[in-house]
Amino acid sequence: MPVYWKWVIKSVPSLGLGLLMLASTVTPRYASSNMAAWLIYFGVENVPAWLANKSADTWVFWIGLVGFCVWAMYLYVPRNLRNGKLSIMIREGEPWVQVNPGLDQSQAVHTYRIALVNSDDSTLRNVEVKLTSLEKKPLNFHAIGSHLRLRHDRVGSTNFNVHPTKDPEFMDAMFVDVFRLLLGPEGHTFLRVASLPEDSNCHIPVDKYDVKIMATSESGEMAIADLAFIPRPDQIPDFQLLKMQSFPGR
């Protein structure tokens, strides 16, 4: 609730400027200018001559309009356009794509990850990362809306803190597993989504998927990423970041 009251209070100047524009176009009684009439109406008898001139209404209207637009842009537009502190990124090589041996020497597991980057100087707390969309969705796939697994996590944590990212190579970012590709013998491959709980990440066909992932913090910071998992003939699949939007919190 305090956040909404803060927004209402910041909107008061826009309301005042709007009323000022309205006052310049209507008058409570006859006078040489609308603005002079309103001053007289509220008890101001010695109205300055420049304000009593009829052209004062035009000047006040345009000043009010410009002020209204400037304050509205300051108050509302930056909330939608400026980037937030939390962002999602992908780069080539490890640890974004990490290769580990499987259960035997004939297998290899490729883990595809995203990195959560905190561009602020303070820690973002209780960050959650969820898989919000997977197209084309396979049959009997129930991991939409599930949390994704933090890198090297053994206990199934669904939220964690993201500390400020200082390394220019982003190696100190928080990494989250998205896909695990198991390459078996004789061309057998299996793909799994690294979701929580474990029983929701069943095997899915190795195919092209459009993926949407959302990360949120307790302070309202939000990052939404559109990604693509793309199989390649005779190569390991690519995992690409197509678009990322970052929104500020409170």
Q: What is the 3-state secondary structure (H, E, C) of 72-138?
A: HHHHHHHHHHCCCCEEEECCCCCCCEEEEECCCCCCEEEEEEEEEEECCCCCEEEEEEEEEEEECCC
Encode pLDDT of 167-200 as tens digits. Answer: 988 999 999 999 988 876 656 788 889 888 876 6
- The rounded distance, in Å, linking the Cα atoms of 177 and 120 is 23
Report, as an integer, the average pLDDT of 34-41. Answer: 59
Do 69 and 147 belong to one domain? no
pTM: 0.65
- The rounded distance, in Å, linking the Cα atoms of 151 and 100 is 13
Do 211 and 141 belong to one domain? yes
How many domains does the chain contain in total?
A: 2
Do 76 and 10 belong to one domain? yes
Do 237 and 125 belong to one domain? yes
Host domain of residue 163: 86-247
Do 18 and 135 belong to one domain? no
Do 125 and 161 belong to one domain? yes
Encode pLDDT of 123-147 as tens digits. Answer: 999 999 999 999 987 777 888 889 9
pLDDT of 38 strictly over 60: no
Do 115 and 25 belong to one domain? no
- Span of 21-30, 65-74, 181-190, 229-238 with lowest mean pLDDT: 21-30
pLDDT at 55: 65
